Each structure stands twice: as C-alpha cells, then as structure tokens.
Amino acid sequence: MRTLSLTASAVIFLLVTAMPIRSAPSIVIGLDADMSSGSARSGEAIRRGIVLAIEEINRSGGLLGRQLKLVVKDHRGNPARGIDNLAAFGKMQNLAAVVGGLHTPVVMAELPHIHQYRLVFLVPWAAGAAITDNGYSPNFVFRLSVNDSLAGPFLVDEAARRGHRRFGLLLEQTAWGRSNYQSIKSALGVRGLHLANLQWFHWGVSTLADKVSALEAAGADAILLVANAPEGATAIEALAELPPHRRLPVYAHWGITGGRFFDAARENIAKVDLYFLQTFSFLDPPFPARAEHMFQLYQKSFPGVQSQTDVFAPAGTAHAYDLIHLLAQAVAKAGTIERAAVRRTLETLPPMQGLLKHYATPFASGHHDALGMEDFRLARYDRQGAIVPMGKPRAER
C-alpha cells in the first residue's frame, strides 16, 4: 500500500509538471469612443496614447505581475451605442477602467451606467463641466482634459486680450454647447464684456450662413465657436464666403480638432482668422525631454510619422498617455483592479512627472479634474494642417 501510494504521488507530480504553465490573465483597459464617424480622429488619437502607455508599462513588467491589453468599442458619437458599450464593459472580467472619447453628450448619457456598473471612467477629451461635477457619490469619473467651466473664461480672456469687446456665440445645441454657454455668459458678465448675439445649431447642419450673418448684424466683433469638426468646417465656410472686411475672427473650443476639420476646410481656413484652445503640442512642449521620449515611441509604433507635425490631435494622445500612467499608479498602489479600490486610490495618488505637467495632486475627493486654466493655450493651423501653439504653454514652464 505504501509503495502504491508513492507511485501514485509520483504520477501526479509528473502530470502536474508536464502541464503548460498558464500566465495570469491580462488586465483590460477599455476604450469607448468615436472610431468611425465625424470625430473618429479624436478616438484614434486617444487610442494611440493608450497604446503607447500600455506598451511602455508592459515592457517594464506590467501591473501586478500581469500584462495590460486594450479593448476598443466604437460608439460613433451615438449615446445609445455608448450605453451598450458600457454594459459590455461592465460585465467584462479583469477590467481595470474604461477610457472615454470626445463627445460630452455621450458621456452625459452614460453617467448613470458608469455608476451602475461602478466603472472607473477616465476622460481624456470630453469637456462638459457636469461630467466630473456630476452629483454622484462616490464619483467614478476622472478627467485629464479641459473643463468647460474654465474653457469659456479662457477663450473670453484671450479674445479680450486682442481687443474684442462684443461677442457672438455660435454653439452646438447639445449638453456640451449648453455647458459652454453658461461659462461664457458668466465670464462676459464678470469682465464687463458684451454678448452681442447667440446662435444655436444642430449636428449635421448643411449651412450656417444665416447664423453667421445674424452675429455680424448684431454688432459682434468676434465669434466664440463651440463645434466639432463637421459643423466647424460649415461655420468657417460661411465666414469665408463673406467679403474680407466682414469675416469676424473666431475663437474656437478644441472640438474642431477631433476630426478631419482641416482637410474639409483647408482653403477656407486660410481666409479666416481662426484661433482654438489646446493643451499640448510636440512643437513646444512644457517638458521637451519627456515629449521627445514619447515622440520616439510614437514613431516606432505608428510608421510613416516623419516629424512632430505629423502627429494629429496631439492633445488627445498626450492626455490618454498620462491618464493611463496615472491609472497604473493607482492599480499598483491599490494592489488590485477591484473597481472601488482603484477609484479610492485615484483620489490619493502621489505626485507624478507627466507629459503635460508635474501632477502634484492629480485628483482628490471632490476634485476629479487634473488640468486647470494654467494648462490651456491658443493654437492655430499652419498651411499644412499642423497645430501650432501660440506663446508659452503655461506659467510653470
């Protein structure tokens, strides 16, 4: 009996040692963004930033002894599709977080579902103020992007600094447009400036000539534009068709940079004095060594990129890159990908040297926005469509 027992033990040992060793399952990061519709470039820019951060982390050994992988779902700018995507992510095993896309209306529709599934939701682009100031407790949404409560005042200040006093507002009729209306209206009142006229438009509009004319007729000396790429191109077309002396300068939110705006409006852009909000540029980064390191990674992962001007929508890529590194710090500190634990840890992260800035306290309880107005700047397009920053990126430089 003793001999038989030893033999059985030996057989069991041989069977176990002969079995292939299974590696730990990958930690999943989800992306829920427009990957194929009017703002698909924003989704691809975000995807590239995530990919670069994941590759970097995986080369260094991964997280918790596991590799990271990205799962992409396309909401096409449609809130219903976004909600379906979140339901799929909510049931997914080994999911650490979901990264969102450009569209504020999509994220706003998703908020109840984000919190139903207790998804750690990271925002690298959408700017609506209520995305983070959403009333949920605990709040599972964290943003490294522009907040409209600051974007409006920034655009007003930049336009006023250039001598403008009477503003025409051309805003999309969505949660994002309404968010900006409130912040711009408040900023104008505080600064003693005038709202000459307000014009709303819907997605897919074929012309904005009548609305541009209404702003001009009301005596506006500058236009504040809140639009995504398709409607932004329509607005610039309407201005370009006017005689040169009637073309009002435009100060735009950054939604126009999330699609093929320049391709659609190249000839018209050359005829209009257009400025727009940005946060990051490889052409004049706040930390050149970090930017050069990231650009080298970009070139290796995405062939055909010859220079920094070839990087489209660089802010989306940079924001996503820094967000994933912040998430990695939270997972490492928490020692788990359990969603509630990661959410709590994101509020107590140590300082991190990022691509955009030194994050002394990226997030805190009651404050889930990592960027402030000091991180904003104006930019313009050059003749080839590269986004060129104006002036220094920020005071801390």
Question: Does a structural domain hold residue 339?
Answer: yes
- Do both 160 and 122 map to the same domain? no
For all residues of the chain together, what is the average pLDDT? 92
Percent of the chain exceeding pLDDT 90 equals: 92
- Do both 341 and 292 map to the same domain? yes
From CA 218, how far away is CA 195, in angstroms rounded? Answer: 9
Find the domain containing 102 and state its range. Answer: 27-146+287-372
- Do both 157 and 134 map to the same domain? no
Amino acid at residue number 44: E
Give the pairing of strands 250-252 and 222-226: parallel
Confidence of residue 1 (pLDDT cuts 50, 70, 90): very low
Confidence of residue 22 (pLDDT cuts 50, 70, 90): low
pTM of the model: 0.90
Confidence of residue 23 (pLDDT cuts 50, 70, 90): confident
How far is C-alpha 304 from the geometric centre of its chain's CA atoms? Answer: 24
Residue 68, domain CATH: 3.40.50.2300
DSSP symbols for 28-84 = EEEEEE-SSSTTHHHHHHHHHHHHHHHHHHHHTT-BTTB-EEEEEEE-TT-HHHHHH
Confidence of residue 24 (pLDDT cuts 50, 70, 90): confident
Question: Does a structural domain hold residue 254?
Answer: yes
Count: domains in the chain: 2
- Do both 155 and 274 map to the same domain? yes
Question: Does a structural domain hold residue 17?
Answer: no
Question: Does a structural domain hold residue 378?
Answer: no
Question: Does a structural domain hold residue 54?
Answer: yes
In 3D space, the residue among 126, 125, 147, 146 whose CA is nearest the CA of residue 316 turns out to be 125
**Does the pLDDT at position 355 exceed 90?**
yes
- Do both 271 and 154 map to the same domain? yes
- Do both 76 and 175 map to the same domain? no
pLDDT tens digits for range 362-391: 999 999 999 999 999 999 999 999 999 997
- Do both 42 and 78 map to the same domain? yes
- Do both 102 and 140 map to the same domain? yes
Domain boundary among 248, 278, 308: 278
Q: What is the sign of the dihedral through the CA atoms of 72, 73, 78 and 79?
A: negative
- Do both 176 and 197 map to the same domain? yes
Confidence of residue 44 (pLDDT cuts 50, 70, 90): very high
The DSSP call for residue 350 is: P
Structure tokens belonging to residue 72: 């992409």
From CA 385, how far away is CA 381, in angstroms rounded? Answer: 5
Read off φ and ψ for residue 359, nearest 5 degrees.
-85, 95
- Do both 168 and 90 map to the same domain? no
In 3D space, the residue among 74, 77, 125 whose CA is nearest the CA of residue 277 turns out to be 125
- Do both 79 and 127 map to the same domain? yes
Domain boundary among 227, 260, 278: 278
pLDDT tens digits for range 210-267: 999 999 999 999 999 999 999 999 999 999 999 999 999 999 999 999 999 999 999 9
pLDDT tens digits for range 124-182: 999 999 999 999 999 999 999 999 999 999 999 999 999 999 999 999 999 999 999 99
The DSSP call for residue 396 is: T
From CA 34, how far away is CA 261, in angstroms rounded? Answer: 15
- Do both 207 and 225 map to the same domain? yes
Coil, strand, or helix at residue 96? strand
From CA 279, how far away is CA 318, in angstroms rounded? Answer: 9
Domain boundary among 278, 304, 335: 278
- Cβ density class 324-359: b for 16+ within 10 Å, e for less: bbbbbbbbebbeebebebbbebbbebeebebbbbeb
From CA 237, how far away is CA 267, in angstroms rounded? Answer: 9
Q: What is the sign of the dihedral through the CA atoms of 125, 188, 168 and 239?
A: negative
